[in-house]
Structures are given as structure tokens and as C-alpha cells.
Chains A and B, each alone.
Chain A
Amino acid sequence: MHPFSACPVWIIFLPLVNSILAFLFRRRGAQLGIVTAVGLVPPLLGLFWQVIGHGPQSYPVGGWGAPLGIDLYADGLSIIMLAMTAVVGIGCTLYATGYYSHGGEGKEKQHHQDSALFWPLWLLLWAALNALFLSADIFNLYVALELLGLSAVALVALAGGPSAVTAAVRYLLVSLLGSMSYLLGVALLYFAHGTLSLGLLGEVVNSSPAGFAAITLMTAGLTMKTALFPLHFWLPPAHANAPAPVSTVLSALVVKGSFYLLLRLWFQVFTATVTPSVANLLGILGVAAILWGSAQALLAQRLKLLVAYSTVAQLGYLFLVFPLAQGTGTGFSAWSGGVYFILSHAFAKGAAFLAAGTVLYGFGHDRIDELVGVTRRMPVTMFAFAIAGVSLIGLPPSGGFIAKWLLLNAALAGGQWWWAIVIVSGGLLAAAYVFRFFSRAFRHVGEISTCRRIPRSMELTALALALFSLGLGIIGPAPFEIIQISAPLSGPVLSGGLP
């Protein structure tokens, strides 16, 4: 048995086993986190090498093979998602070692207990993400989604206090509703076609009533979990009130998990059932998300709430992929734009939330109007936030710019110029709320507020993630070849003049 072929197994089980160990050995949580972060790099590199060199990889668990058994499957999209998870995950792990070692936002005694259970929960969330991105079985995806959702809810509630706990309950109820809807879709698909394997379903699903019901239910469930307008109401309180490393993971990774599944289902399974009207509906809701989220971010009084509403707005861009892919010849450009957007948003929003968390840690509050002298107290953190803001607005050179460029090209080439207007105005709105914060942060009148000592790890990880989002813009077209590996759409990448 070739040792490399078990890479998917290591990627899923390393965080899982370390989570159990972190539960049993309470004082070793941070070390086990670092072990996981470091230990995930070799199997990820191995999987990358395999997929790039030999095409999509399939691993039949139990030796049975689909449809009887469950397959683990890795193609270009999967490894990009895994790489994104690893980068943000490593950053958050390093940040959390600093955050939880010196006491955080709560009282000291509460804090020791918080950190004791943070590590098992966070490692389990990481395992759930990896399991989600590697699974090719729709029922296994349901279990992975539940694992992801429940660990995310538990992490939100870890902050204690009434606002965090109510936000966690709201998140849990929406998450469960979404999962139930998805499960009903799974049931209908199984009884209609007799298989639970994504690959086999892709060949047999047609536009029967059961198929139509299944795509409706699954889309409804997954869009709820990705906080698409108007079912976004749970996201801002949950992401704003969670502890700092948790907010980062939620905005950067967890919402992308359900969106990734939606992309897979729409473009690989339900290709015969998809109608342009539903795609346009998703696009319109995405536009509403961009406008509403940006407006609320402009009005937000707290920094973390501003960043959370920014997530709502940025997720709206992702839903433009569906109508944009309907145009002729624009399919692959829209698809790769969406994937690029997922990546760049993960890095940029991750950096933004880490920076915002550092501000809250240092000053004890994050009310924007009172954050006087922030740039003098925390220059590295603010620099990271600025770079993240560049990517969120979509200015070159950043990953956000390339992603929006791809989406714009898809819109214009497909003759759907109205989406292009939205993309551009979304960028302007993002500029507005980012500058709103910085106009206050740069103000130096009055006394400088007192600030706690910030651990180096917290500052540097925020900066590192921000630089990643910038680096994405500089390496430009390199990820396209990876995205192309067994992508469901093919066609030219409409780069409109990019090198």
C-alpha cells in the first residue's frame, strides 16, 4: 500500500485524535494544537503532489468503494479548500496560544476553563472541515456538516455572557433547520436514484419532481448555513460575540464549508435540474446581501460587528457565481472567480477578525468611536487590518481584486452587465466602511487609552494572514491550474488582459 495514498485519512484524523487527547490531557491543549498545525503540512503537501501530478484521487474507506461504501475524494477544488483551511487554521492556532495564555476577555478563573475546552472544540472543528472537503457521499456530508455546525456553536458560546449565549442559540437553531432540510433532500435523492455517492448521482440526476424538490431543500438548507440574505440574521451577533480566534474561523472557514457543498451540488449533481430563474434568485439575494450588509457595516458601533456585517456583504458576492455561470462561455470564469473569492476572503477576513480581536483584547472594548490612538498603540495590528481592508475593497494587488475582476469579466462577457454594476458599487461600499473605521483610528486627539500588552503571536499572525491575501494577488493565475483539475465546468478563464 502506497503510503501517500492515505493522505486524506491523516488530514481528517490528525486533528480528531488530537482533539481527544486535548480533552484527556487538559493542560496540553496548546501544544497539541501546535502539533496538529505542524503535522498537517506533510499530508497536505503529499495530497497536493498527488492531485496535481496524477489527477483527482479517490480513497474507498473500508475497501468497499462507492456506492456500497463511502469514498474520500480530492480534486482541485478540494485541495484548495484544504489549503485555505490549513493556512487560516495554523494562523488561528498560533493566535490562540497567545490569546489564551495571558488571559483574554473574561475573568481569569473562567479563563482557564475556557481555554481547557477551546482546544478540543477547535481541533474537532478543524477535523470536521477537513472531513467535509474530502467527502464524496451526501449522507457523510450531512454528518460532517452537523459536526461542523455543533462545534462552531459550542465555540461561540465559549465567550460566556448573555450576548454570546443568545447568539449561539440562534446560530444553533438556524444550523439545525438547515441540516434537517438538507437531510430531507438526501432522503429524496436516495429513494429516487438508489445511491448516496456524489459521483454516481451526478450521472443520474434529472429534472424529476424528486430531483427538483431535493435541490430546493438542499439549497434552502445550505444557504441558511451560509447566511444568505434574508436568513443572515444569525451571523452578525454570532461572529461578533465569539472569542477572537473563533470569529476568525467562523467567518473565514465555517460559512465557506456549506457554500462549498452548495457549489458541488449545483455544478456536479444537479446540472440537469438547475434553472436560470433559481440561479437569478440566488443572485438577487446576493445583491441584497451586499447592499444590506455594507449598509449595516457603515452603521455598526462596534468593530467586530462591522467586520461581521462585512462578512454578510462579502458572502453576497459568492452567490453571484450562480447566475454568472449561466451565461454562455462564462461558466469557468465565474466558477474560478467564486473559488478565488472564497480564498481571498478567507485570508482577508481572517486577518481582519484577528486584528479586531487584538483591539478588543488590548483595550477591553471595541467601540469604534472610542478607539482613539489605536494606530499608535498597535501599529502592526492596524497595518494588518489595512492590508485586509485593501483585499476586501478589491484594490490591486490583492486576492480580492483578482476575484472581483474574474466575476466582472464573467458578467460583462455574458451580457449580464447589471451584476457588474453591483460588484463595482459593492467595492465602493466596502471602501466606505473600511475608511470609516480608519478615520477614527488615525485620529490622535485627546488621551491615548490604556492598552494591555499584546503577545507577539497575536500581532504577527494577523499580519501573516493579511500578507497571504496580498500574496494571492501577486501570484495571480497560478491557482487556476489547480482549480481546473476536474472542475465541473471547462472553458477559458476570461482574464481580460491579466498576465
Chain B
Amino acid sequence: MSVSVLYSLLGSTLFSLGLYGLAAYAQLLRKILAINIMGSGVFLILVALAYGPGENSPDPVPHAMVLTGLVVAVSATALALALACRVQETTGSAQLPEDESD
């Protein structure tokens, strides 16, 4: 199988690993990192498959999608981290409470 398919399979593995991390860990920072890993997996798939076999230059549209996606992911991570800090300040713990009672 070609190199690009190999990397994209790696990307899908990262996606699943990130999903596992999101579900398995209780601490907010780990959940945020897990989401970033999922994002990296998706971007890896996009970049890997942009190179078709026998082409000299990559397809520019997936690269542009990855650049846009990266900026969006950075913004989302910044907001998530700031919120996690606020949760730590107001509730004293860096985890989400298990129940949703008000």
C-alpha cells in the first residue's frame, strides 16, 4: 500500500486514540489534549491523502483546509483552556463533576 494510505491509516488511529482519551480520562486538561490529538489525526489524513501517486505537487485544497482547521483548533483550545482554568478557580477541582445537578 502506498505511503499516503499508510499515513492516513495512522491518522485514523490517532482519531480513535483521541476519542478514547476523551472518554477515559476525567481531568479536563487530558480531555482537551485528547481532542487535539483527534484533530491532529484528521489533519494527518487530509495532508497524507493530498499527495496522489505519481504527482509532483500536492493537491492544494486539503492543505488549505488543514491550515484553516489548525487555526480553528487553536482558537477552540484557547477557549477550552481558559474555561478549564475558570472551572479550577470556581470549583476547586480540575475535573468535571460527575452529575449534572444544578
Contacts and interface: CB of A to CB of B under 8 A. Distances in A.
Contact of B84 (A150, A169, A190): A169
A236 interface: yes
A163 B96 CA distance: 10
Given A150-B76, A165-B83, A173-B35, A183 B42 contact: yes
A172 B80 CA distance: 7
B35 A177 contact: yes
A187 B46 contact: yes
Contacts of B76: 146, 150, 172, 176
Interface in B81-98: 83-84, 86-87, 90-91, 96-97
Tell me whether chain A's interface is mostly helix, strand or loop, or mixed: helix
A165 B87 contact: yes
Given A165-B83, A176-B76, A187-B42, A236 B100 contact: yes
Contacts of B49: 187, 191
Contact of B45 (A142, A187, A240): A187
Contacts of B61: 190, 196
Contacts of A191: 49, 62
A172 B79 contact: yes
B79 A240 contact: no
Contacts of A165: 83, 86-87, 90-91
B40 to A, nearest CB: 10
Interface in B22-55: 22, 28, 31-32, 35, 38-39, 42, 45-46, 49
A157 interface: yes
A143 interface: yes
A139 interface: yes
A295 interface: no
B3 interface: no
Contacts of B72: 143, 146
A166 B42 contact: no
A162 interface: yes
B99 to A, nearest CB: 10
A305 interface: yes
* Interface range for B: 20 to 34
Contact of A305 (B28, B90, B91, B102): B102
Given A173-B31, A187-B62, A191-B49, A162 B87 contact: yes
Contact of B35 (A157, A166, A180, A187): A180
A168 B84 CA distance: 10
Nearest to A302: B102
Greatest chain A CB density within 10 A among B31, B49, B80, B83 is at B83
Interface in A173-229: 173, 176-177, 180, 183-184, 186-187, 190-191, 196
Contact of B91 (A150, A162, A172, A240): A162
Contacts of A233: 100
Given A162-B90, A236-B100, A168 B83 contact: yes
B62 A237 contact: no
B34 to A, nearest CB: 9
A369 to B, nearest CB: 14
A184 B90 contact: no
A241 interface: yes
B15 to A, nearest CB: 7
B65 interface: yes
A415 to B, nearest CB: 39
Contacts of A302: 102
B75 interface: yes
Interface of A: 139, 142-143, 146, 150, 153-154, 157, 161-163, 165-170, 172-173, 176-177, 180, 183-184, 186-187, 190-191, 196, 233, 236-237, 240-241, 302, 305
14 contacts: A143-B72, A146-B72, A165-B86, A166-B91, A169-B84, A173-B80, A176-B76, A180-B39, A183-B69, A184-B15, A186-B65, A187-B62, A191-B49, A305-B102
Closest 4 interchain pairs by CB? A162-B90, A162-B91, A165-B86, A169-B83
